[in-house]
């Protein structure tokens, strides 16, 4: 039997007090990373009511149950405002999953190991970038397992989006009107290839000649017909003041060429409610934003794990909500015991339509979970909700050979424009037509997709 050592409201007061004092230290019962280093789990760092939705709601909600308009008010205080609106007013249904406590289910294992091994080896340079103590680019893992400032949360996010050396994602996207009618449907494929902080692929930790870069990020659209063969290549500088180099091939121009790179707040395709700036929630060079601050700390109910549907055809999620019943993915949510709520402002974008972004980071991994953007009038504008899971090959289910039997990755994104009520939702799938499949840490991905000649070759 576990004894509740703390009375009602203790944890809430604890978090409020910490935020009030500007303390970011994670862990309630014990320092989080001491516990993780010892056990690989976060369980001993939190009281039971932060590790179980049933305990948190005193039995009103249970794992395996459904969160809907009838019972969502019970957890209103730990949902982001968009998720609450969707469930309360739009018929979104969410399945409740148990809290994931094993850290290697919440982030890739090599990344977790590097986070522990490389702890304390970083410095923040005068230029605001992260360097090793001998002035080189970061060597891998999360340099800030115990962040002391909100900027460190965000920098961790920026340094490695997907937390793999490289990741290839096949994506299907559906964009709906307010009622949930699907008006746009796109297929695309991307690769995130990190040139520094490499943990699995040789050469490690840097690709020779690429130390001044952070990542290659090619993206290829494969459907519909007029977009087929549109491909882009972003090359990110390590210096987070600099904008990425941006090359593209479009079927209308039939050639590779450079494009302006500072269009961060535009829909890249008709119908999209998300902008380039939203990629992994902090999709711009970080030091082009500023006024970083922490505005909250505490539990959050969101899609941190258990979100993949690996036994379903092509991993496609069920849908729900809206007048058509097709507006939202039917996702799972779990209680995350501790999240940092950080804000930042677009200080280098004089005509940004945003006044700020608010991002919820899992305190255990600094993985961005969900985000709300605010317009210039300070009104809630958009939600970007991510889902995540540890992908484990199910017996008997279709699986692309050569893809590892187990890997951690994102599962879905809801990009909801709360002012127009339009929705863009997309998810990671096993494969899309054209022969492009999701994969992880494959050295051939660089030659296949990350060069200028690949950009031209993949163009149609």
Partner 1 sequence: MRGKCLAKAFAATAATLILMAIPPVFAQESLDLGPVHIDVQNAAETDWAISTAGKNNAFNNNSNAGVSCPPNGNSSAPGCGLSTNGNSWNLMAYRFDTLINGRVSSDTAERFGLDNWDFFVHGRFWSNIVPLGIDGNMPSTHEMNFAQHYPGNGWTATVAENNYELDAAEAYTDLRKGRWWLRLGKQQIVYGEELGFQTLDAVNSLDFRRHSIINFSGLEFSDARYGTNAARLTYDVGDQLSRFGIHRARITAWVAQFEPDVFLPPGSAYNASFNAYETVVPGTGPYSLYNSVGEASYGAVAEWSMLGVDFSANFYSHPERVGYFSVAGIAPNRSSGIQGLNLNDPTGYYDLLLAENMPREYIFGGMASYMIQPIYTFPGADIINGDIVRFSGTYTPNKTLAAPGYNQQGFVRMGDLNLAVDIEKDYRWTEALPSAFILAEYNYRSASSLFGDTWLFANARADHMFNLFLLSMQQPLPLARWTLVNVLETEANQNFSFFEQPGVVYKPTSAQEYDVFYNFASGTLASFEGPFQFMDEICIRAIYKF
User: Residue numbers of the site for partner 1 (CB under 8 A)?
Assistant: 175, 182-187, 208-210, 222-228, 241-243, 245-246, 251-255, 257-263, 265-273, 288, 348, 350-353, 375-376, 402, 420, 422, 433-435, 444, 447-448, 451-454, 456-457, 460
- Judge contact between 148 and 124, C-beta under 8 A: no
Kindly tell me which of 270 and 404 has the beta carbon lying closer to partner 1.
Answer: 270
Residue-level length of the chain: 460
Q: Across the strands, what pairs with 431?
A: 437
Closest alpha carbon to 280 in 391, 186, 153, 183: 153
Angstrom distance (rounded) from CA 21 to CA 454: 51
Angstrom distance (rounded) from CA 189 to CA 428: 9
Kindly tell me which of 175 and 338 has the beta carbon lying closer to partner 1.
Answer: 175
Cis preceding-peptide flag for 203 (omega within 30 of 0): yes
Closest alpha carbon to 353 in 266, 433, 244, 258: 266
Kindly tell me which of 6 and 184 has the beta carbon lying closer to partner 1.
Answer: 184
- Judge contact between 407 and 440, C-beta under 8 A: yes
Kindly tell me which of 190 and 246 has the beta carbon lying closer to partner 1.
Answer: 246
- Phi, psi angles (nearest 5°) of residue 54: -65, -45
> Shortest distance, CB of residue 267 to partner 1, whole angstroms?
4
Kindly tell me which of 126 and 351 has the beta carbon lying closer to partner 1.
Answer: 351
Closest alpha carbon to 220 in 205, 232, 206: 232
**DSSP line for 200-218:** SSSS-S--TT-TTEEEEEE
- Judge contact between 207 and 215, C-beta under 8 A: no
Angstrom distance (rounded) from CA 78 to CA 42: 19
Kindly tell me which of 31 and 128 has the beta carbon lying closer to partner 1.
Answer: 128
Kindly tell me which of 86 and 250 has the beta carbon lying closer to partner 1.
Answer: 250
> Shortest distance, CB of residue 417 to partner 1, whole angstroms?
8
> Shortest distance, CB of residue 193 to partner 1, whole angstroms?
13
> Shortest distance, CB of residue 322 to partner 1, whole angstroms?
17
- Phi, psi angles (nearest 5°) of residue 358: -120, 125
Kindly tell me which of 205 and 271 has the beta carbon lying closer to partner 1.
Answer: 271
> Shortest distance, CB of residue 166 to partner 1, whole angstroms?
16
Kindly tell me which of 258 and 392 has the beta carbon lying closer to partner 1.
Answer: 258
Closest alpha carbon to 169 in 396, 413, 367: 413
Q: For residue 34, give the H/E element and its range.
A: helix 32-39
**Tokens at residue 114, please?**
């590097």
> Shortest distance, CB of residue 197 to partner 1, whole angstroms?
18
Residues contacting 222, CB < 8 A, separation 6+: 187, 188, 189, 228, 229, 432, 433, 434, 436
Kindly tell me which of 364 and 422 has the beta carbon lying closer to partner 1.
Answer: 422
> Shortest distance, CB of residue 261 to partner 1, whole angstroms?
7
Angstrom distance (rounded) from CA 408 to CA 446: 20
> Shortest distance, CB of residue 245 to partner 1, whole angstroms?
7
Closest alpha carbon to 245 in 257, 231, 261, 230: 261
Angstrom distance (rounded) from CA 46 to CA 338: 9
- Judge contact between 361 and 338, C-beta under 8 A: no
> Shortest distance, CB of residue 21 to partner 1, whole angstroms?
35
Dihedral sign for Cα atoms in the order 444, 404, 174, 286:
negative
> Shortest distance, CB of residue 290 to partner 1, whole angstroms?
13
Kindly tell me which of 56 and 289 has the beta carbon lying closer to partner 1.
Answer: 289
> Shortest distance, CB of residue 134 to partner 1, whole angstroms?
21
């Amino acid at each position: 039997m576990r004894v509740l050592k703390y009375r009602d409201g203790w944890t809430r007061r604890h978090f409020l007090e910490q935020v009030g004092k500007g303390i970011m230290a994670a862990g309630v019962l014990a320092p989080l990373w001491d516990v993780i280093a010892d056990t690989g789990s976060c369980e001993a760092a939190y009281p039971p009511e932060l590790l179980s939705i049933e305990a948190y709601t005193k039995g009103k909600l249970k794992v395996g149950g459904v969160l809907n308009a009838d019972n969502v008010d019970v957890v209103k205080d730990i949902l982001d405002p968009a998720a609450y609106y969707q469930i309360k007013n739009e018929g979104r249904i969410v399945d409740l999953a148990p809290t994931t406590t094993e850290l290697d289910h919440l982030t890739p294992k090599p990344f977790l190991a590097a986070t522990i091994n490389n702890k304390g080896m970083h410095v923040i340079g005068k230029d605001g970038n992260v360097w090793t103590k001998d002035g080189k680019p970061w060597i891998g893992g999360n340099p800030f397992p115990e962040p002391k400032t909100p900027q460190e949360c965000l920098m961790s996010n920026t340094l490695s989006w997907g937390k793999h050396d490289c990741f290839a994602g096949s994506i299907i996207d559906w964009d709906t009107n307010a009622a949930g009618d699907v008006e746009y449907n796109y297929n695309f494929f991307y690769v995130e290839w990190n040139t520094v902080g490499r943990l699995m692929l040789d050469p490690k930790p840097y690709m020779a000649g690429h130390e001044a870069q952070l990542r290659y990020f090619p993206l290829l659209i494969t459907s519909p017909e007029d977009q087929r063969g549109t491909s882009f290549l972003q090359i990110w500088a390590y210096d987070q003041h600099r904008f990425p180099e941006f090359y593209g091939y479009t079927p209308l121009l039939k050639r590779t060429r450079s494009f302006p790179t500072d269009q961060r707040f535009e829909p890249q395709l008709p119908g999209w409610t998300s902008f380039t700036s939203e990629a992994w929630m902090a999709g711009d060079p970080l030091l082009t934003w500023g006024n970083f601050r922490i505005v909250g700390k505490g539990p959050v109910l969101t899609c941190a794990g258990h979100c993949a549907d690996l036994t379903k055809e092509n991993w496609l999620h069920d849908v729900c909500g809206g007048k058509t019943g097709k507006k939202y993915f039917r996702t799972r949510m779990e209680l995350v015991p501790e999240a940092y709520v950080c804000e930042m402002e677009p200080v280098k974008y004089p005509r940004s339509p945003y006044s700020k972004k608010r991002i919820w980071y899992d305190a255990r991994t600094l993985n961005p979970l969900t985000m709300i953007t605010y317009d210039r009038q300070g009104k809630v504008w958009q939600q970007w909700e991510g889902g995540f899971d540890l992908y484990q090959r199910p017996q008997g289910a279709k699986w692309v050979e050569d893809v590892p039997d187990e890997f951690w990755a994102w599962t879905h994104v809801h990009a909801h424009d709360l002012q127009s009520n339009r929705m863009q939702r997309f998810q990671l799938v096993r494969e899309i037509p054209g022969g492009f499949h999701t994969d992880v840490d494959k050295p051939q991905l660089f030659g296949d997709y990350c060069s200028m000649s690949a950009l031209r070759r993949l163009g149609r």
